[in-house]
A and B are shown apart, each in its own frame.
Chain A
Amino acid sequence: MTAPSAPAPALRYRASMPVRELLPIAIFLGFALFPLAAAFGAETYLLDLFMRVMIFAIAALGLDLLVGYGALVSFGHAAFIGIGAYAVGILAAHGIADMSISLPVALIAATLFAYLTGAICLRTSGVYFIMITLAFGQMAYFFASSLAPYGGDDGLTLHARSTLFGLSPFKHERLFYYIVLACLIGCYCLCRALVVSRFGRVFRGIRENATRMATLGFEIRRYQLAAYAISGALGGLAGFLLANATDFVSPAYMSWQRSGELIIMIILGGLGTLHGAIIGALAYMLLGEWLSGLTENWHMIFGPLLVLIVLLARGGLLGLAAQLRSRIRG
Chain B
Amino acid sequence: MSLLVVQILNGLQLGVLLFLIAAGLTLVFGVMNFINLAHGVQYMLGAYLAVMFYAITGSSFLALVFALLASLAFGLFLEFVVFRHLYERDHLDQVIATFGIILFLNQAVKYVWGAAPLSLPIPEFFSGSVVLMQGLTYPIWRLVIIASGLAVALLLYVLVSRTRLGMLVRAGANNAPMVSALGVDIRRLFMVVFGFGTMLAGFAGIMIAPILSVEPGMGDTILILAFVVIVIGGIGSIRGAFVAALLIGLADTLGRSFSVDILRLVMAPSPARTVGPAIASMLIYLMMALVLYFRPTGLFPTKGR
Interface residues of A (CB under 8 A from B): 1-2, 67, 73, 75, 117, 120, 123-128, 130-132, 134-136, 138-139, 142-143, 145-149, 256-257, 260, 263-264, 267, 271, 297-300, 302-307, 309-311
Alpha-carbon gap, A145 to B281, bound state (A)? 9
Q: How far is the CB of A270 from chain B (nearest CB, A)?
A: 12
Question: Do A310 and B281 touch (CB < 8 A)?
Answer: no
**Chain B residue at smallest Cβ distance from A264:** B96
Instruction: Give the residue of B97, B235, B282 whose beta carbon is less than 8 angstroms from that of A127.
Output: B235
Q: Number of B residues contacting the other chain (C-beta, 8 Å)? A: 45
Question: Is B99 an interface position by the 8 A CB rule?
Answer: yes
Interface stretch, picked from B6-14, B61-69, B201-209, B223-231, is: B223-231
Which residues of the other chain, A, contact B91 by a CB distance below 8 angstroms? 1, 73, 126-127, 130
Residue of B nearest to A138 (CB): B285
Determine whether the beta carbon of B281 is less than 8 Å from that of A132.
no
The verdict on B148 contacting chain A, using a C-beta distance below 8 Å, is: no
CB pair B277–A120 under 8 Å, yes or no, is: no
**Can you list 19 residue pairs at the A/B interface with Cβ under 8 Å?**
A73-B95, A124-B297, A130-B95, A132-B292, A138-B285, A139-B282, A143-B278, A146-B274, A256-B224, A263-B95, A299-B106, A302-B100, A303-B101, A303-B102, A303-B107, A306-B96, A307-B82, A309-B96, A310-B93
Known A-B contacts A120-B293, A134-B227; the reply to A75 vs B95 at CB < 8 A is yes
Q: Which of A2, A123, A256, A300 contacts B90 (CB 8 A)?
A: A2
CB-CB under 8 A from B90, the residues of chain A are 1-2
Asked whether A260 lies within 8 Å of B95 as measured between CB atoms, the reply is yes
7 smallest beta-carbon distances between A and B, as pairs:
A303-B104, A306-B100, A146-B278, A299-B107, A303-B103, A142-B281, A303-B100
Determine the distance from Cα of A126 to Cα of B99 in the docked complex, in whole angstroms. 19
Interface of chain A, helix or strand or loop or mixed? helix
Is the beta-carbon distance between A134 and B235 smaller than 8 angstroms? no
> With A297-B110, A307-B100 given, can you name 9 additional A-B contacts, CB distance below 8 Å?
A67-B92, A134-B224, A139-B289, A143-B278, A143-B282, A256-B224, A263-B95, A299-B103, A311-B82
Task: Chain B residues near A126: list those with CB within 8 A.
Answer: 91
Asked if residues B227 and A131 are in contact (CB atoms below 8 Å), the reply is yes
Chain A residue at minimum C-beta to C-beta distance from B230 = A131
Q: Is the CB of B278 within 8 A of A142?
A: yes
A128 and B96: CB pair below 8 A? no
Residue of chain A at shortest CB distance from B111:
A297
Bound-state CA distance A322–B63 (Å) is: 52
The answer, yes or no, to whether B245 is at the interface (CB within 8 Å) is no
Closest A residue to B103 by beta carbon equals A303
Q: How far is the CA of A138 from the CA of B82 in the complex (A)?
A: 28
* Cβ-defined contact, B103 with A124, below 8 A: no
- A67's nearest neighbour on chain B, judged by CB, is B92
Q: What is the 8 Å Cβ interface bit string for chain B, positions 261-305, against chain A (1 contact, 0 not)?
A: 000000000000010011001100110110011001110000000
CA distance A136 to B99 in the complex (A): 20
Asked if B85 and A146 sit within 8 Å, CB to CB, the answer is no
B154 interface hit (Cβ, 8 Å): no
Closest CB-CB distance, B68 to chain A, in whole Å?
25
List residues of chain A with CB within 8 A of the CB of B153. none
Q: How far is the CB of B59 from chain A (nearest CB, A)?
A: 32
Q: Closest residue of chain A to B35, judged by CB?
A: A127
Judge whether B97 and A310 touch: CB under 8 Å.
yes
B220 — which chain A residues lie within 8 A by C-beta? 257
